[in-house]
Amino acid sequence: MTADQTGPVVITPHGAVRGRYEHGIAVFRGIPYAAPPFGPRRFRPPQPPEPWDGVRDAGAFGPTAPKPPYSEAFARYLSDPVIPGDDCLNLNVWTPEPGPGARLPVLVWLHGGALTRGSSAVPVYDGRTFARDGVVCVSVNYRLGVEGYGLFPDAPPNPGLRDQLAALRWVHETIGAFGGDPDQVTLCGQSAGAISTGALLAAPATRGLIRRAVLQSGPPEASDRDKVRRMVRRMASRLKIPATAEAFAAVDRDLLLRTQAEVGRLSSPVLGGPAFGVVVDGDLVPRDPLLALLDGDAAQGVQLLMGWTRDEYRLWFVPGGLLEHIDRLGPVALAAAMARCHAGHEVPRAYRALHPDAGVAEIVGQMVTDHLLRAPLHRLADARPGTSYLYEFAWPSRLPGLGACHALELGFVFDTGEVPESRKLAGEGAPQELCDAMHSAWVRFATTGDPGWQAWDASHPVRIFGDGGPYTAHGPRDAEIAVWSTARTVTEPGPASRIRAPGAEWAGAVRRLRRSAGARRR
């Protein structure tokens, strides 16, 4: 490493980059880890970037991956900057000690956004606070939506996940020059970033690249291939083209994004529907990631920190007034939730008994959250006791109705509660002491593998981050998780004797609820 009047310079395998000193931290933004994924590289696995001569300026965030904007209802709460340009496979590094020899722990951040939105340029994800506390922070851009997760007969699956693998390999080969230790890498992600983290954990190609991992609000999972194909086919139908990568590559990029947004309008993490996702491909993802991790033949020795928010579902239900609409729909909403979870009537009955004062929306939201998120993370912790740590973020937003919703915890994790983009979800007056506690737990985990509370065992310890100081509760979700261990799994709507809503009524409930959600997002 060298430095001049304008900032530190670090040599990477593809050329030198010059960063900036900000608040005593060396920051390098927009470093390409792969070539622009367009032209002949469209829908293909990432390729190394072209080497450059001289010193490349790394003072500003690089281009973001193509993505549609959030709807007006969600844009009130979530920020998603757009930076134009083709060179979107880039990453950022914050380090307190640029140059070889420091051997500091490394945290690699994969943003969320349903694999269709988000970027490393979101101000909430400022890695300066981790570097301030002795951890080199790397945040990554990767391909999104149909560009990154479309399933085509003439292109390899999962190019967006392959981008993330390329970034991990870049970190392993290069982070030592920035002061990081390539043998102490913690891979972290939230929502879609956590799903990606789980898939990469289970991938044989990442062995030796990951020492620890954090999964926040996302389980290891693979999407149904038919579900992803339906997204592609519906886009192709609207565009009047074949459902092939070659045909999609010839479509105007803005038109492709508009079509993707329209086709995905009725999809929801809670309500389901066609969506893009990581799929089993027989190569990078040879089998379902959760099953691979439960079997213990993947990510052996990797320590896990896993968490959720108390009211995940409220981010999808509150914008546009869907929360009240679900309460009014009553049985229709419950039927849709049972369809989403392939569950019989005994499940909502059990939730009603556990939460007699809850409204229909809360029953639906918690039921789906437990089925899709908390139960898989419980299973994973049960399979890896002693090296797994679980937590729940329970502090409620100061904004009406949001509660402790999905993504609210991120300003606390990054200790960036003061930035306006954090206040869009948290409101005014987020407690700094809670930021300190949450951020410190992640720093400790990335540094030592111990976030500061009891590892998972038969007593099921869960750290609660809410009003007041953090505390450990034992089995706070056990009663709800137990419902799923005894529930009947329904793969198709069955006879009236088993499922009272006939198949057509069941499917109609889901369609009506999704249409309501879509109408309120516009």
For 437-466, give the DSSP string: HHHHHHHHHHHHS--SSPPP-TT-EEEEES
Q: What is the mean pLDDT of residues 242-255?
A: 97
What tens digit of pLDDT does each residue of 451-497 get? 999 999 999 999 999 998 999 999 999 999 999 988 765 544 332 22
pLDDT over threshold 50, residue 101 = yes
Query: Is 85:63 a contact under the CB 8 Å cutoff?
Result: yes
Strand partners, 31: 91
pLDDT over threshold 60, residue 71 = yes
Q: What is the mean pLDDT of residues 235-249?
A: 98
Half-sphere exposure at residue 297, Cβ-oriented, CA atoms within 13 angstroms: 8
Q: Tell me, yes or no, if 355 is annotated catalytic.
A: no
Q: What is the mean pLDDT of residues 46-70?
A: 97
Q: Which tokens sit at 23?
A: 């608040």
- Fold assignment, 2-448+457-521: Rossmann fold (3.40.50)
Query: From CA 92, how far away is CA 111, in angstroms rounded?
Result: 13
Mean pLDDT, all residues of the chain: 92
Of the two residues 274 and 521, the one the predictor is more confident about is: 274
* pLDDT for residue 514: 54
- Unique residue bearing structure tokens 């880890």: 33
Q: Which tokens sit at 498?
A: 């088993």
Of the two residues 518 and 117, the one the predictor is more confident about is: 117
pLDDT over threshold 60, residue 257 = yes
Among candidate residues 447, 502, 512, 430, the one with its CA nearest the CA of residue 106:
447
Nearest-10 crossing angle of helices 159-174, 192-202: 70
- pTM recorded for the entire structure: 0.94
Q: Which amino acid is at 364?
A: V
* pLDDT for residue 5: 54
* pLDDT for residue 504: 44
What does the domain layout of the chain look like in residue ranges? 2-448+457-521
* pLDDT for residue 507: 47
Q: Tell me, yes or no, if 371 is annotated catalytic.
A: no
Query: From CA 41, how far away is CA 67, in angstroms rounded?
Result: 18
Question: Which of 221, 312, 392, 409 is an active site residue?
Answer: 312
Q: What is the mean pLDDT of residues 305-317?
A: 97
Q: Tell me, yes or no, if 312 is annotated catalytic.
A: yes
Q: Which tokens sit at 103?
A: 């051997």
Q: What is the mean pLDDT of residues 328-352?
A: 92
pLDDT over threshold 80, residue 521 = no
Question: Which of 79, 119, 139, 191 is an active site residue?
Answer: 191
pLDDT band at 501 (very low <50, low <70, confident <90, very high): very low
Query: From CA 142, how far away is CA 165, in angstroms rounded?
Result: 10
pLDDT band at 236 (very low <50, low <70, confident <90, very high): very high
* pLDDT for residue 214: 98
Task: Provide the greatest CA pair distance for the chain.
Answer: 77
**Percent of the chain with pLDDT strictly greater than 90:** 85
Q: Which amino acid is at 391?
A: Y
Query: Is 145:269 a contact under the CB 8 Å cutoff?
Result: no
Q: Which tokens sit at 297?
A: 């033949």
SS (H, E, C) 379-401: HHHHHCCCCEEEEEECCCCCCCC
Q: Which tokens sit at 140?
A: 């990554």
Q: What is the DSSP letter of 34?
A: S
Per-residue b/e over 323-340, b at no fewer than 16 CB within 10 Å? bebbbebeebbbbbbbbb
* pLDDT for residue 269: 78
pLDDT band at 26 (very low <50, low <70, confident <90, very high): very high
Q: 429: how many CB neighbours lie within 10 A of its CB?
A: 9
Angle made by CA atoms 489, 368, 297, in degrees to the nearest 5: 70
The alpha carbon dihedral of 376, 381, 383, 388 has a sign of positive
Which of 198-207, 323-332, 432-441 is predicted least confidently?
323-332
Query: From CA 292, how far away is CA 199, in angstroms rounded?
Result: 9
Which of 288-302, 322-336, 483-497 is predicted least confidently?
483-497
Query: Is 167:206 a contact under the CB 8 Å cutoff?
Result: no
* pLDDT for residue 272: 78
* pLDDT for residue 297: 81
* pLDDT for residue 497: 28
* pLDDT for residue 350: 97
Angle made by CA atoms 358, 360, 361, in degrees to the nearest 5: 95
pLDDT band at 505 (very low <50, low <70, confident <90, very high): very low
pLDDT band at 320 (very low <50, low <70, confident <90, very high): confident
What tens digit of pLDDT does each residue of 144-184 get? 999 999 999 999 999 999 999 999 999 999 999 999 999 99
